Chain A
């Protein structure tokens, strides 16, 4: 047999459940049979409950098998894995699987399919077309294309990306910078990581387009230190892109010069906040700066700076290649395009689900996510990271859309959904939110620094059943008001979301004798 091609992810989430061991077993199995074959290491398709998911190229397209273990490999090869033959682990063609079929993959179109560091793969799957368009346009035309697409920042705040770019374009400055926020500190989110590991060139292309749009000559990608695999892949991808002329002097044959440098964070959640992140690159403690001045006017090293999340920048190549309308056609209201949603925690089908805005929370959790992994009823979901609200089932009709979530005192954030079953103790979740704020506070605002510690203590007293419960709850509500209005950034300002939503929607867990279920959602 010739031309055997197998695909095994090298995504950290797949490695975490044994993808390297499966690849090694496949290599040994091929060698034993005297078959020369290639094992391509891809990103993940994002169906994590099926990882490690192995694919084989056949005449009928790629056929997937999963979740596999090294111990399955001999039987898989004997059954005829290489020709896509039947086996209990056979999943069929990935694109026919409901979880993928129901998605609209614009940003993640290639992730899990191509070799992440192969320029040939990237080019053959439509890569660089957006950049080629951009170099033939004026900066202002690129900016206005992004404005018309309706793209909003995917890092959490949802600010219109094109409008931010327009400000930076118009700002005078000796140099301008593009900064990619790859700090991805929100728990329950992993889309930035997946993309950087699975399709790093799309991020580089997006940053190069941003550079052309505003006239920037240098970019930084700031990746959190908790992501060693993403760091390594991005580092290599930047080198490959530079050697191929997509970075450096005269990018993609144009007169524009733009180069990228990678920076590694050092374990501080607050450094995901844009001004703290810029301080961190400059070599200072990551402290939040008051705005104005906006980074677009006075950003990195005092120069006009565009700072965007990974997913915002990675959405741009599609918009330039296919046109603003092709992107804006998806979505609802003021939430245009697609959102890479991350289903996490106690969910049967955990993974990445990119879809047009407008899908409801209930569809995402029950239908697409398949309910809990533990098999117990879903009781609560937290949307939008550690500063996001907890939603009860009663609010599962909320559509995924920035305004609809805000109207229900929640946030879309970076698109993470963490599912909890009925063993969750919401008083403990509220306590954790306060504790997290205390641990990660940059220390600048008193309510955030001190109030959060006080809040943790008060919730502890509620949990222990000490003192006057009603007075404790009133104090928490008070502290939350102070946090909300006395904080410079969303770390202090949004901590009330998880805390107050837990109290509002799950008051029974804060009762004098809480009806707490025993046992935890342990696998």
Chain B
């Protein structure tokens, strides 16, 4: 799972400086910030804006445009469930309903125990082993009911 460091301006400044020399540096920097802090911290936005000579509104606009960037940290694990057509054809919607019931949350939310954030995705490129999911960066295919249940159990078991 990506980092859950507490926000530290010094650390954020290092990350921004390390990426600022690239051509088109904004997305790589936002990815790196999220990698370190588990989210794009609000306090980092003016720092990024200043370093890249952009307005805060521009940086905000980019952060909010992309589905990947979080403003709040995710749970200890992120379960991405594929909602797209190939997975639909193999019962993906049933898995989605089961996951929502088991976690007690809807799309984009984190279970009350902080263990799992449930995220919808539209295709993981695992369409020939559908239905598919990704837990943290681990791909999972042929996701039947019991496989999903054991994934969720394992994710919630490791505090």
Which A residues have a C-beta under 8 Å from some C-beta of B?
Answer: 12-13, 15-17, 48-49, 51, 184-190, 192-193, 218, 225-230, 261, 263-269, 280-286, 301, 342-347, 350-352, 373, 382, 386, 416, 418-421, 424, 429, 432, 436, 439-440, 520-523
Contacts and interface: CB of A to CB of B under 8 A. Distances in A.
Contact of B128 (A184, A266, A351): A351
B125 A266 contact: no
B124 A226 contact: yes
Contacts of A269: 122
Contact of B127 (A230, A345, A522): A345
Given A190-B126, A190-B128, A344-B127, A421 B89 contact: yes
Which residue of B25, B65, B94, B144 has the most chain A CB atoms within 10 A of its CB atom? B65
B101 to A, nearest CB: 16
B86 A226 contact: no
Nearest to B95: A522
A229 B139 contact: yes
B85 A187 contact: yes
Given A283-B25, A386-B84, 9 more contacts: A12-B125, A188-B84, A263-B24, A266-B66, A266-B68, A345-B85, A350-B128, A440-B122, A522-B91
Nearest to A18: B141
18 contacts: A13-B141, A51-B129, A188-B84, A193-B125, A218-B23, A263-B27, A264-B28, A266-B69, A280-B27, A283-B26, A283-B62, A346-B90, A386-B84, A416-B127, A432-B88, A436-B122, A521-B91, A523-B131
B153 interface: no
Nearest to B31: A264
A418 B128 CA distance: 9
A391 B67 CA distance: 31
Nearest to B22: A261
B90 A16 contact: no
A431 to B, nearest CB: 11
B91 A520 contact: yes
Nearest to A352: B128
B132 interface: yes
Contacts of B30: 266
Contact of B141 (A17, A187, A283): A17
B61 interface: yes
B21 to A, nearest CB: 12
A265 B68 CA distance: 9
Contacts of B134: 226
A418 B85 contact: yes
Interface in B60-99: 61-62, 65-69, 80, 84-91, 93-94
The 4 A-B pairs at the shortest CB distance, nearest first, are namely A283-B26, A522-B91, A350-B128, A187-B84
B122 A345 contact: no
A53 to B, nearest CB: 12
A520 B94 contact: yes
B137 interface: yes
B44 to A, nearest CB: 15
Contacts of B88: 345, 429, 432
A430 B61 CA distance: 31
B36 interface: no
Given A16-B141, A432-B85, A345 B90 contact: yes
A159 B35 CA distance: 38
Contacts, number: 171
Given A16-B129, A185-B122, A521 B90 contact: yes
Contacts of B12: none
A226 B125 contact: yes
Contact of B67 (A193, A266, A350, A373): A266
A382 B22 CA distance: 40
A264 B27 contact: yes
A218 B23 CA distance: 11
A437 to B, nearest CB: 11
B84 A283 contact: no
A342 B128 contact: yes
A386 B122 contact: yes
B50 to A, nearest CB: 15
Given A48-B129, A345-B90, A188 B85 contact: yes
Contacts of B89: 345-346, 418-421, 424, 521
B66 A382 contact: no
Contacts of B152: none
B15 interface: no
Which residue of B22, B25, B91 has the most chain A CB atoms within 10 A of its CB atom? B91
A284 B60 CA distance: 11
A186 B93 CA distance: 18
A520 B52 CA distance: 51
A342 B91 CA distance: 19
Contacts of B155: none
B127 A188 contact: yes
A193 B84 CA distance: 17
B121 interface: yes
B142 interface: yes
B142 A283 contact: no
B123 A267 contact: no
B120 to A, nearest CB: 9
A269 B28 CA distance: 18
Contact of B66 (A226, A268, A347): A268
Contacts of B26: 283-284
A345 B129 CA distance: 8
Contact of B94 (A51, A230, A261, A522): A522
